[in-house]
Chains A and B, each alone.
Chain A
Amino acid sequence: DAGVIQSPRHEVTEMGQEVTLRCKPISGHDYLFWYRQTMMRGLELLIYFNNNVPIDDSGMPEDRFSAKMPNASFSTLKIQPSEPRDSAVYFCASSLAGLRSLFFGSGTQLSVL
């Protein structure tokens, strides 16, 4: 298996632009997680899905952030409009119920200028 695949690896955009991050989980996994990592705040859970249904989005910073999972093999995290304080590394992870071990993608380094 190729593991969790995220795209793009790097994204540089200007304040106010829309940003879309993409994730393909490991085939067969039924949980998908979006995390954000910064030096100041560490690793923060933004939202997670179970069987494509959002379970907990309490970590989503504000209405500018939205996430979807239209099917078991694809998820997006969208920021509209983006702000400089959104600059961070965004990780997607997936897992299989019962194992409780998360498998992380390589992350998307987002820079909002």
Chain B
Amino acid sequence: GDSVTQMEGPVTLSEEAFLTINCTYTATGYPSLFWYVQYPGEGLQLLLKATKADDKGSNKGFEATYRKETTSFHLEKGSVQVSDSAVYFCALSGGNQGGKLIFGQGTELSVKP
């Protein structure tokens, strides 16, 4: 079945460092891909999404490119801030999923000043 695999955390970076969180997926057909962020004590919030191959989703300085050839959707940010500390979830929604999302296990990011 469809699945999402993320790099394990926690990821600890210094402020202004470059961030990459790897995400790969397995899916039949052509899924849409998402990154969600969860701040402590809150629900998940949509960060960005891409609906077809080679699309780039971007928001708040974060970017991810839908790579069909490598089945990947890695999250990047050029300069992280302490306020980016959170758990990041990669997810997919396929045409045969009936509207539901399949989530990865989440990657915790901790940014130190």
Chain A interface residues (CB < 8 Å from chain B): 4, 31, 33, 42-43, 45, 48, 50, 55-56, 91, 93, 95, 97, 100-107
* B46, A106: Cβ atoms closer than 8 Å: no
Bound-complex Cα distance A71 to B44 (A): 24
Q: Counting chain B CB atoms within 10 Å of each CB, which of A43, A97, A106 scores highest? A: A43
* Complex interface: chain A residues within 8 A of B106 (CB): 42-43
* Complex interface: chain B residues within 8 A of A48 (CB): 98-100
Report the minimum CB–CB distance from A104 to chain B (whole Å).
3
Contacts known (A42-B105, A42-B106); A104 close to B45, Cβ less than 8 A: yes
* A50, B98: Cβ atoms closer than 8 Å: yes
Bound-complex Cα distance A40 to B98 (A): 27
Bound-complex Cα distance A102 to B103 (A): 12
Report the minimum CB–CB distance from A101 to chain B (whole Å).
5
Q: Does B49 contact A (CB under 8 A)?
A: yes
* A45, B105: Cβ atoms closer than 8 Å: no
Q: Which residue of B lies closest to A30 (CB)?
A: B99
We find that the number of chain B residues with CB closer than 8 angstroms to chain A is 20
Q: 19 more A-B contacts (CB under 8 A) besides A43-B89, A50-B99?
A: A42-B103, A43-B44, A43-B103, A45-B101, A48-B99, A50-B98, A55-B98, A55-B99, A91-B43, A100-B32, A100-B51, A100-B93, A101-B34, A102-B44, A102-B101, A104-B44, A105-B43, A106-B41, A106-B42
Within 8 A of A (CB), among B21-35: 32, 34
Bound-complex Cα distance A100 to B99 (A): 6
Bound-complex Cα distance A95 to B49 (A): 14
Bound-complex Cα distance A86 to B36 (A): 25
Bound-complex Cα distance A91 to B36 (A): 14
Q: Counting chain B CB atoms within 10 Å of each CB, which of A48, A55, A102 scores highest? A: A102
Bound-complex Cα distance A36 to B36 (A): 16
* 0 or 1 for each of B30-60: is its CB under 8 Å from A? (1 = yes): 0010101000011111100101000000000
Bound-complex Cα distance A105 to B89 (A): 16
* Complex interface: chain A residues within 8 A of B34 (CB): 100-101
